Structure 1
């Protein structure tokens, strides 16, 4: 199997989410929403790692679908928080862009294995 060398990008993306949400939120809504992007961004990195070690194309496709789901969930959550003024969109623009790029990469890879 070809190595895509994307591990660091997924790990860096997850770590950047963790850094943004490392301080305790100041409201119930912010607290509720802050926990999910940490889980979903870390899950996308972990599932991408599973994709690279998968034994069959069917298993690879399944891991990519989970990765894609988690990336989309991260992006949706961040968008909600920006719209609700829970986080500053200028401080998160690079992360949103990376999230979008990772989605595009996973969609391209998924076409190969589906």
Structure 2
């Protein structure tokens, strides 16, 4: 088995796609549209902001873009926790998404913390 380098961008793209598929399956009622649309935006935004961070010219701008991605991940976490409370969407998928969000939040917080030291 070939050792593959960990790729955060690939992980964020997969996360955004999983969020999109989760939102696609939500009921087409007021709550589904409201929370689904918001989750779709925040879940995808973390990957897009990370992509923007890759093209920055300074550490300060890089940290800023990663901070935006982190903010969007935290927003997605709260949204999914609300959906958990109201039993909305697939519980199994929500649990997997929440687990991935927690891991990504820790990764981003660590990167920001380490990059801010310099």
TM above 0.5, one fold? yes
| Counterpart position of 1:49 | 51
Alpha-carbon distance in 2 for matches of 1:24, 1:76: 17
CA contact (8 A) 2:53 2:62 kept: yes
Structure 1 gap segments, 5+ residues each = none
Q: Are 1:71 and 1:103, in contact at CA under 8 Å, matched by a contact in 2?
A: yes
Residues 56-65 or 82-91, more deviating:
82-91
Kindly provide the CA deviation profile for residues 49-91 of structure 1, in whole angstroms up to 9, marking residues without a partner as x.
1112211000011001100000000111011011011123223
> 2:102 maps to what in 1?
100
Q: Aligned residue for 2:40? A: 38
Is the alpha carbon distance of 1:45 and 1:28 closer, same or farther for their aligned partners in structure 2, counting shifts above 3 Å? same
CA spacing shift, 1:17–1:93, aligned 2, 3 Å: same
Query: Residue 63 of structure 1 corresponds to which residue in structure 2?
Result: 65
Q: Structure 2: which 5+ runs fail to align?
A: none
Q: Write out aligned runs for 1:12-27 (5 A).
A: 12-23=14-25, 25-27=27-29
Calculate the TM-score normalised by the size of structure 1: 0.90
Gap change, CA 1:100 and 1:24, over 3 Å in 2: closer
TM-score under structure 2 length normalisation: 0.87
